[in-house]
Amino acid sequence: MARNAIQFQKGLSEVAFQGNYGTEAQCETVLETMRWPHGFVCPECGAAKGHRLDSRNLYQCASCRRQTSLTAGTIFEHTKLPLSIWFRGMYHLTQSKNGVSAMELMRRTSGSLRSRAQQDKATLSF
Ligand SMILES: [Zn+2]
């Protein structure tokens, strides 16, 4: 009988997840790298030069001076929750073979994702 490759995926351990995505800074770095793999690109004018305003946690275009956040234009736009909570929720949703209930997700994120979902009246599905 052939071995099902999907069923025997390697997965990501809790220890590895915590090591790679355990802090807010790590999550921001991952999102920044995924959003701008070759460095910042202004969403307004397309200029590839800008800098981070650490005091306001924004990026400013060197050409048109538009300020944009790391999460603007992503699925995390307007979130009040830290990226580390979202990453933890995504981890649990994707690592469980049988899915994760909303109650389980709430327990694993200390209620953060449930509270936000109730505010938005949205369902959690990725
Ligand atoms: Zn610009």
- Reported as a single tens digit per residue, the pLDDT across 72-121 is 999 999 998 999 999 999 998 888 877 778 888 888 777 777 655 555 54
- The domain locations on the chain are 14-124
Question: How far is the centre of ligand 1, averaged over its atoms, from the C-alpha of 55 (Å)?
Answer: 20
For ligand 1, the distance from its centroid to the CA atom of residue 80, given in whole angstroms, is 25
Per-residue pLDDT tens over the stretch 4-51:
776 677 788 899 999 999 999 999 999 999 999 999 999 999 999 999
pTM of the full structure: 0.76
Collapsing DSSP to helix, strand or coil, 89 comes out as helix
How far apart are alpha carbons 126 and 123 in whole angstroms?
Answer: 9
CA of 48 to the centre of ligand 1 (A): 8
CA distances from 32 to 8, 53, 71, 88, 117 (A): 31, 14, 9, 17, 24
| End-to-end alpha carbon distance in the chain | 32
For the record, the structure tokens of 41 come out as 């690109």
C-alpha 59 to ligand 1 mean position (Å): 10
- The CA distance from 17 to 12, in Å, is 6
